[in-house]
Structure 1
Amino acid sequence: MFLSLYKRTGFFTLLLASLLMAVVGCSPQAAQPPAAEPAPQQAQTPASEIELMVSAAASLTDALNEIKPLFEQQHQGVKLTYILGSSGKLATQIEQGAPSDLFLSASKKDMDTLEEKQLILKESRSDFTKNELVLVVGKDSPLSVSSFEELGSDSIKHLAVGQPDSVPAGRYAKEALEHLKLWEPVSAKLVFGSDVRQVLTFVESGNAEAGIVYGSDAATSEKVKVVATANADWHKPIVYPGAVIASSQHQDVAQAFLSFLLSDQGKEILQKYGFR
């Protein structure tokens, strides 16, 4: 009897233990703290792109266009923006507060004007290249003109030059013609360009039989030919000064660009386009 009771008791004990284990297994486990999620990575903010605004004489157009990708590659985050035109007009724009970081002039006179008004950093001013004055005619022109002295010839009905008041090339042309005592005799046939590139276009298009431009401009055109080079004694030296604008917010970068022009690489490119 006791053995039977023991067996039944053992059976119930085993059954109770099994039920308890089942209950424990089915009960929810203690909540585990959620795994810490990785902190979101902060987006890398790219450095602000610097737009360097360069006011430059129109005669520098081709050389500067070749320099642009080279300089930008060497100075990541810098974008060059060129404001091209006659040096006189560019100087006036800077005087009137137009945004600019660097001025590349085709004449000493226009740079002197800005320096006198303390609009440039005087210590940054440097002459970075030179040029010469040439007489051009259309490539297929039948004209037999071969010197400046012949510009009074009746075969030339229109002579293109830059506006002397604002275009340095026109100023130098006037000085040369005055030296030769031809300014007044040819005044009736003069066609004025707003910059030296427009003068070149007048000759290329046939709107003027001849024109006076820089040697660098003539070197870029396949539509004109040089028939004479002005004697350097006939006009003031054609030098190109560059200087950082005093109000520029990017003076270091502007100085770096000017230094590039003065480097061997910069000089080589300028010479390629006819500068001296």
Structure 2
Amino acid sequence: MYKTFLKFFISLFILFLTACSTNMSKEEANQPKKVEITISAAASLNDALNEIKTHFEKTNQQISLLYNFGGSGALKQQIMQGAPVQIFISASKELFNELSKKDLIDSKNQMDLLSNQLVLITNKRQPIPLKSFDDLQKEGINKVAIGAPASVPAGMYAKQTLQSLGIWEGMHAKLIETKDVRQVLTYVETNSVDAGIVYMTDIKVSDKVKVIAVAPEQTHDPIIYSAGIIKSSAHQKEVSLFYDYLHSPTARDIFKKYGFKVLD
């Protein structure tokens, strides 16, 4: 009698679990699948864009944002090779225009979004005796980190500044080239180098570095961040929603919070 009752109870329990599982599967199947949008963006935008993602996805729950951060030159090459990207935000207008000229970016959906400044930094706790860019030539300054000029806009601007100041040629033995501007920041934070050249916005996310000097604007090309929709993008409606959101009051406030100048 007991065994019969136990078997009946177990069978009933299994049927209950099966029914629950079936109902849950039906509910999951009825849930609309989120549209994923991939944004390739300059590494210096990491913190600002991640905060923007949080706000955007709260009000657009049908969309999931995926970021691919890196040096703008490397991101440009990925897009040219067919990377599945919907929006490109470059820290170099020149690199952005190369894609635009190849008709890879929608001509009706591209804009100059932000601007930035270039700064010389050193470690805050173990500062090097620097007062200006010119001091980088001094003995005792052995390692200076910059983004690789060929692929990292911050490195290109750094090279232009050092050339304008007439000290580029004498700096070759000291330069440590990195894959993106955030790696420069990390090297300075960890005291792996004596100094580094980054964007003003990069220091907003670090309490381990200090600014020595701001590069005069006339020593380098204007630092303009351009954004645009890749012409072959799927889900154009959802992509346009995020593209337009980049100029919303919420996004503008976040960009300003991290030290960017928002362009109208």
Indicate whether the TM-score tops 0.5. Answer: yes
Q: Which residue of 181, 195, 200 maps to 1:196? A: 181
Q: Deviations over 1:176-205 (max 9, x none)?
A: 000001111111100001000001111111
Please give the per-residue CA displacement for 1:7-66, whole angstroms capped at 9, x wherever unaligned. xxxxxxxxxxxxxxxxxxxxxxxxxxxxxxxxxx98672222100101010000000111
> What residue is the counterpart of 1:67 in the other structure?
52
Q: Does 2:235 align with 1:238?
A: no
Q: CA deviation at 1:158?
A: 0.3
Matched, 1:150 2:160: no
Shift of 1:255: 2.3
3-state SS of the aligned residue for 1:141?
A: coil
Between the aligned residues of both structures, percent identity stands at 45
State yes or no: 1:216 paired with 2:201. Answer: yes
Which of residues 241, 247, 259 in structure 2 aligns to 1:274?
259
Residue 80 (1) aligns with residue 65 (2): yes
1:85 Cα deviation from its structure 2 partner: 0.3
SS in 2 for 1:165: coil
The farther-off stretch of 41-50 and 167-176 is 41-50
Q: Helix, strand or coil for the counterpart of 1:104?
A: strand
Q: Which has the larger radius of gyration?
A: 1
Q: What amino acid does structure 2 have at the position aligned with 1:99?
A: P
- How far apart are 1:216 and its partner, in Å? 0.5
1:250 positional shift: 2.0
Post-superposition CA distance 1:213-234 (Å, at most 9, x none) = 0001111111100110000110
1:89 and 2:74 aligned: yes
**Residues 122-201 of structure 1 mapped to structure 2, 5 A cutoff:** 122-201=107-186
RMSD: 1.4
Task: Determine which of 94, 99, 102 is the counterpart of 1:117.
Answer: 102
* C-alpha separation in 2, matches of 1:88 and 1:142: 31
Residue type at the aligned position of 2:78:
Q
Residue in 1 that maps onto 2:238: 253
SS of 2:47 mapped into structure 1: helix
C-alpha deviation, 1:264, in angstroms? 1.9
Q: Which residue of 2 aligns with 1:11?
A: none
Q: TM-score, normalised by structure 1?
A: 0.83
Partner amino acid, structure 2, of 1:122: S
From 8, 32, 39, the counterpart of 1:54: 39
Segment of structure 1 superposing worse, 204-213 or 254-263: 254-263
Higher strand share: 2
Q: What are the equivalent positions in structure 2 for 1:13-32 lying under 5 Å apart?
A: none
SS at match of 2:242: helix
Q: Secondary structure at the match of 1:211?
A: strand
Once the two structures are TM-superposed, the CA of residue 257 in structure 1 deviates from its matched residue by: 1.5
Task: Give the alignment partner of residue 212 of structure 2, picking from 200, 222, 227.
Answer: 227
Give TM-score scaled by structure 2 length: 0.86
Runs of at least 4 residues off by over 3 Å: 41-44
Q: Would the aligned equivalents of 1:245 and 1:251 in 2 still touch at CA under 8 Å? A: no
Rounded to whole Å, the distance in 1 between the matches of 2:94 and 2:235 is 25
1:259 aligned counterpart, secondary structure: helix
Indicate if the aligned counterparts of 1:146 and 1:228 stay in contact, CA closer than 8 A: yes
